[in-house]
Amino acid sequence: MKVLFVSETYYPHINGVYLFVRRLAGLLQERGVTVAVMAPSQGTNATHQRIDDIDVYGIPSLPVLYYPGIRIPIPVALPSRIKQVLKTFQPDIIHIQNHFALNKAVVKVAASMGIPLMGTNHFMTENFTALVRSAAVKKAFEKWMWAEFSNVYNRLALVTAPTETAAGYIRGRLDVAVTPVSNGIDLSRFNPLGDGHQIKARYKLPDGPILLSVGRLDPEKRIEEVMHGMAIALRSLDFHLVIVGKGIRRMSLERLAMELGIEKRVVFAGYVPDEDLPYFYNYGHCFITASIAELQSIATMEAMASGLPVIAADAGALSELVHDGVNGYLFAPGDTQKISSSIVSVLKDAATYKAMGQKSLEIIEDHDIQKSVRVYEKMYQGLTSRLAAV
């Protein structure tokens, strides 16, 4: 079987979609499935590279100037370029990841060639409207984006979403069946018994309790709320916040740390390669996310697989992972007082920290990525069988 994944973003732009595709494609490959990825290239020429031991076909593209790392395909001759890749790779199934320009064009070309299509939804309007101040403009923009989404995804044979919450967002917008399938997590990589001290000197990490944040430093992640809550919590507890990731808000967050007088308690680790990331989780004592745009949150699952309690915004699908008072605490977006009290509750009491961490390990067992891979492989086989029977 040959499966082609299509994504508007891929390495070197690191985000949840890239991680989902890379991990699923790699594990399918181990199970004997032939996989490839189509994504915008990093320039105006078509490319064919091996990235993460996976064939990646790059479609000529241009950068989105206001958002570093994001590129859009050049529309001139786009259908013919897509058709050439499809003729070269000859996929049995195409698995798209969103409804934007490249995926939209792929759906149209693949349909004309009789290639079965399915898709996973990673789309939330909050990822695109976080900086829009006008309520009227925001509403109109969201309406248009959802209409575009429905137009593309209604042409698919099957749609998945990473959680029941995510599936619920789109069921009313589609005529196609929507099935929740966890993004999954490789439980073997995130081992709470591992030695995290080896990264301490390399990244100049501090001693004492560590509150950990991992993810893009972008508006919808709302890391400033974490920092405001942290400033309150520091009045009664000594700890550090380690922020892993890069993004457009880095400089403003550094300024905020200085304004709040907590700059000596905040470490901006920047981008951390995959091989080092598990040690950050093992070195941390509690994970925190204030993001309002999570259809699942791979970083939260990684933290749980490392045995960490989690403090999270009660938004998106985070409540499916974080059970308030069980493996962590939920807070209403913007409630910095609750963020503060949650930090103190977890970090001041070793018994609470250990008990919640153990619950995280128990909850995350249901999200073993091997289970997700088997589900997707069965879906691909079902779609190809259906086509063969026609």
Is residue 256 one of the residues assigned to a domain? yes
The predicted pLDDT at position 232 comes to 97
What is the C-alpha radius of gyration for the chain, rounded to an integer number of angstroms? 21
Distances (CA, A) of 163 to 140, 187, 316: 27, 18, 10
Indicate whether 141 and 269 sit together in one domain. no
Indicate whether 167 and 242 sit together in one domain. no
Is residue 243 one of the residues assigned to a domain? yes
SS3 (DSSP) at 243:
strand
Question: Are 318 and 330 spatial neighbours (Cβ–Cβ below 8 Å)?
Answer: yes
Indicate whether 68 and 155 sit together in one domain. yes
- Residue 99 backbone zone (phi > 0: left; psi -120 to 50: alpha; other: beta): alpha
Is residue 27 one of the residues assigned to a domain? yes
Edge-first strand listing for the sheet containing 310-313 = 266-270, 240-244, 210-214, 286-289, 310-313, 328-331
Report how far residue 164's alpha carbon sits from residue 179's, in angstroms, rounded to the nearest whole number. Answer: 8
The predicted pLDDT at position 300 comes to 97
Indicate whether 212 and 268 sit together in one domain. yes
State yes or no: pLDDT of 238 exceeds 60: yes
> What is the overall mean pLDDT for the chain?
91
Indicate whether 26 and 115 sit together in one domain. yes
Model pTM?
0.84
Helices first, then strands: H and E counts in the chain: 14, 16
Cis before 12? omega within 30 = yes
Residue 171: which CATH number? 3.40.50.2000
What confidence tens digit (pLDDT) does each residue in 176-207 have? Answer: 999 999 999 999 888 755 556 677 888 888 98
Indicate whether 359 and 380 sit together in one domain. no
Is residue 189 one of the residues assigned to a domain? no
The predicted pLDDT at position 345 comes to 95
The predicted pLDDT at position 387 comes to 63
State yes or no: pLDDT of 316 exceeds 70: yes
Indicate whether 30 and 81 sit together in one domain. yes
What confidence tens digit (pLDDT) does each residue in 81-105 have? Answer: 999 999 999 999 999 999 999 999 9
Indicate whether 374 and 343 sit together in one domain. no
Query: Domain limits at 137?
Result: 2-184+368-389
Indicate whether 356 and 374 sit together in one domain. no
Run of H or E including 84: helix 78-89
Indicate whether 144 and 283 sit together in one domain. no
Report how far residue 76's alpha carbon sits from residue 218's, in angstroms, rounded to the nearest whole number. Answer: 31
SS3 (DSSP) at 380:
helix
Structure-block tokens of residue 212 = 């950990």
Report how far residue 227's alpha carbon sits from residue 253's, in angstroms, rounded to the nearest whole number. Answer: 9
Is residue 326 one of the residues assigned to a domain? yes
Please give the residue that has the higher pLDDT: either 91 or 218.
Answer: 91
Report how far residue 264's alpha carbon sits from residue 310's, in angstroms, rounded to the nearest whole number. Answer: 23
Report how far residue 94's alpha carbon sits from residue 82's, in angstroms, rounded to the nearest whole number. Answer: 12
State yes or no: pLDDT of 66 exceeds 70: no
The predicted pLDDT at position 307 comes to 94
What percent of the chain is modeled with pLDDT above 90? 75
What confidence tens digit (pLDDT) does each residue in 320-354 have? Answer: 999 999 999 999 999 999 999 999 999 998 898 89
Report how far residue 53's alpha carbon sits from residue 5's, in angstroms, rounded to the nearest whole number. Answer: 14
What confidence tens digit (pLDDT) does each residue in 28-42 have? Answer: 999 999 999 999 999
Report how far residue 253's alpha carbon sits from residue 2's, in angstroms, rounded to the nearest whole number. Answer: 44
What confidence tens digit (pLDDT) does each residue in 284-309 have? Answer: 999 999 999 899 999 999 999 999 99
**Burial class of 87 by CB neighbour count within 10 A (0 to 12, 13 to 18, 19+):** exposed
Could you give the number of structural domains in the chain? 2
What confidence tens digit (pLDDT) does each residue in 41-53 have? Answer: 999 999 999 999 9
